[in-house]
Structure 1
Amino acid sequence: MSTLIGIRGEDDNSIDALYSPAKEKAANRGAYSSRSPLLLRRARQLLGEAKLKLFLCFFALCVLVFVTSRLSSFMGWNPHYPSSVSSPSRGGYTVLINTWKRNSLLKQSVAHYASCSGTEAIHVVWSESDPPSESLKAYLKKIVFYKSQTAQKPNFKFDINEEDNLNNRFKPIEDLKTDAIFSVDDDVIVPCPTLNFAFTVWQSAPFAMVGFVPRMHWLEKAKHGDTYYKYGGWWSVWWMGTYSMVLSKAAFFHRKYLDLYTHKMPSPIHDYVSRERNCEDIAMSLLVANATSAPPIWVKGKIYEIGSSGISSLKEHSEKRNKCLSDFATLYGTIPLLSTNVKAVDARQEWFW
């Protein structure tokens, strides 16, 4: 039989208040059991707060890295990275601007390219019936002098042609001092750092066409079973992830192709370009591909088109380009274009590469 020991509490007036070790043990166990959920909830709360703080710190760090890396762009300043463009042993490039009755755009274009550190000369292909005015010549020479940031100012010259012909843009240039030609339309602006990067890409493959406007081609089967060539614009390149041309509206190529285009390319192609007033850029792409048996190189970079009109904006432009490819295939006897999915990217400007 168990023995109960009765002890009167000091502050307890009840005679029947009894002390029991079993009751004390049970009471203590109940206290601990009721305290455990509270401790568990508190631990979970602290863990959740720690995760939130860690996430906020990581987010703040990402924002800081992004802001500091893009601060120069926000302030309108472009860093000048060291490159072989400034190396006198390798030379710079000649900017060859094709223009047609858009003097305001021509002024903007000449002023911009004169400010690029790699520009050694600027030639304007002029094919209008009237020669450029003396005031226009004087203005452009003056703007080249003031916009250039190099001690040796770029040479500036109009290449005046007697007739309006798209083949004029690829005529050989006398007294040319650079191997590199940057062919560009008067309404296309390529930022100087991007242009200089493309020049370094061209230096690594000087006989390829290196440009910013990729296009593609493919064989299409007609309903009656015949095949014909299709010309694909930017959205086709984006969708398929491949290209076979870079357009001469913004592209580097070697000076020797000016001579080959004018003197070695089949004359029926010259006649075709003159008659159709189109596709001289496709003809140049065919010429380079035929000479190199290699695809062109697309350089990823932002370019800006400051004009709003041109033959490429016309509704029937795509149909004409399709016809050009098929007709050139007949005149050439083949289509030497090669497709590729390689593009050159400046890793200094990319987050992921």
Structure 2
Amino acid sequence: MTLGNSLLSFTVIISLTVPIFVISVRVGPYSIDPACEKYDPRNLRSDQMTVIINGYSEHRIPLIQSIAAAYSASPSIATVILLWCNNSTPPQTLSSFAQNLSATILRPPSSSLNHRFYPWEIIKTRAVLISDDDIEPNQKSISFAFTAWKSNPDRITGFFARSHAYDVQSKSWIYTMEKEKYSIILTKFMILDRTHLETYTCDQRYSQTRHIVEEMNNCEDILMNFVVAENVNKGPLLVEAKGGVRDYGDARNDDELGLSKVGLSSRRGEHRKRRGECITEFHRLLGRMPLKYSYGMVVDSVGEQGLCEKGGKLVPCDQQIF
């Protein structure tokens, strides 16, 4: 089922320095999703970004509060949105959560990862920053990435890159990392134009591939890279994280709190295999391979830019033995 054919129902909890307001909104049913009505880009701000953090685990609530505060303190950020996709979380838990959260909470009608790229009406900026709930960038990193994106606004920009490659023996695509090239930017930290959200959500060319995301509960970031590469005929842009980005979800952390064991990618071998299957299936359904390799980099080499805790110190995650 695509978003365009579903009944859209969500709850918005607004929490800043004012009392909590709970607004229940029910829209539909519509034959055409209202979000797919063309939005006039002239009404969008270009001087700041909207951040969308995807949250699910109640175990990570204290961490999400810290991450939301870091984003909201940046002059590059207009609005921080927490997309809370765990429908089993009690309303009172979220209400308590919201009291100390520098963000707006949206509760979509399901836990579908496709909602990460829904063109929510609350988004009033041209640039949208998609973030995981275990990544905490510093102010310099946010500003530098936004500046790089403004010079390449049609491309996906971010700190964490991967690649696709074809395995001749198995006759299938694999998900990998290569030192000299990349074709995929991850949603750990991804900046893109709001129009790409509309294309991902509303373009019927991608209805079957969105269904694969639903079935696999994975690969929404790979599909977005497919969508953008196909529509702009360019690969993504990897930029340097000035001072590094704290990656709490990386399994190479000394993790006393268990934060690195919550995410989908905590089981690396299985995770990579499933994502290779996604690439193969997207290729089959679309009948083409739109992903484009990028070689021009704003970093010395294509590696992890996340910082992990090891022996009480923060070090680059890829300098550890895994």
Report the TM-score when normalising by structure 2. 0.70
Larger RCO, structure (CA 8 Å, separation 6 or more): 2
Amino acid at match of 2:82: V
- Tell me if the contact between 2:209 and 2:223 (Cα under 8 Å) persists in the aligned partners: yes
2:125 aligns to what SS in structure 1? coil
State the match for 1:230 in structure 2: 174
C-alpha offsets along residues 144-172 of structure 1, whole Å, 9 cap, x if unaligned? 3xxxxxxxxxxx32221121211111111
Structure 1 stretches of 4+ moved >3 Å: 130-143
Q: In the TM superposition, what are the counterparts of 1:1-353 in structure 2 within 5 Å? A: 90-101=46-57, 102-130=60-88, 133=91, 136-137=94-95, 140=98, 142-144=100-102, 156-222=103-169, 227-232=171-176, 236-238=177-179, 241-264=180-203, 265-301=205-241, 302-307=244-249, 308-309=260-261, 310-314=263-267, 315-344=269-298
RMSD of aligned residue pairs (Cα, Å): 2.1
Aligned length: 240
Alignment partners' CA distance in 2, 1:319 and 1:161: 28
C-alpha offsets along residues 61-90 of structure 1, whole Å, 9 cap, x if unaligned? xxxxxxxxxxxxxxxxxxxxxxxxxxxx84
- Tell me if the contact between 1:131 and 1:160 (Cα under 8 Å) persists in the aligned partners: no
State the match for 1:34 in structure 2: none
Amino acid at match of 1:254: D
- Tell me if the contact between 1:182 and 1:253 (Cα under 8 Å) persists in the aligned partners: yes
Distance 1:111 1:132, change over 3 A: farther
Alignment partners' CA distance in 2, 1:337 and 1:168: 22
Alignment partners' CA distance in 2, 1:132 and 1:299: 39
Alignment partners' CA distance in 2, 1:132 and 1:288: 36
Amino acid at match of 1:95: V
Amino acid at match of 2:265: S
C-alpha offsets along residues 105-128 of structure 1, whole Å, 9 cap, x if unaligned? 211211111111111001111111
Deviates more, 1:184-193 or 1:308-317: 308-317
Distance 1:132 1:251, change over 3 A: farther
Query: Structure 1 vs Structure 2: percent identity of aligned residues?
Result: 30
Alignment partners' CA distance in 2, 1:281 and 1:333: 19
Deviation at 1:143, TM superposition (A): 4.8
2:47 aligns to what SS in structure 1? coil
Amino acid at match of 2:213: V
- Tell me if the contact between 2:161 and 2:184 (Cα under 8 Å) persists in the aligned partners: yes
Amino acid at match of 1:108: S
> What residue ranges of structure 1 are gaps of 5+ in the alignment?
1-88, 145-155, 347-353
Alignment partners' CA distance in 2, 1:339 and 1:313: 26
> What residue ranges of structure 2 are gaps of 5+ in the alignment?
1-44, 250-259, 301-322
Deviation at 1:330, TM superposition (A): 0.3
Alignment partners' CA distance in 1, 2:285 and 2:229: 15
Distance 1:325 1:188, change over 3 A: same
Larger Rg over CA atoms: 1
Alignment partners' CA distance in 2, 1:193 and 1:106: 20
C-alpha offsets along residues 240-278 of structure 1, whole Å, 9 cap, x if unaligned? x11111112211000111111111142111111111111
| Higher helix content, 1 or 2 | 1
Deviation at 1:103, TM superposition (A): 1.4
| Higher strand content, 1 or 2 | 2
Distance 1:227 1:135, change over 3 A: closer
Alignment partners' CA distance in 2, 1:192 and 1:209: 20
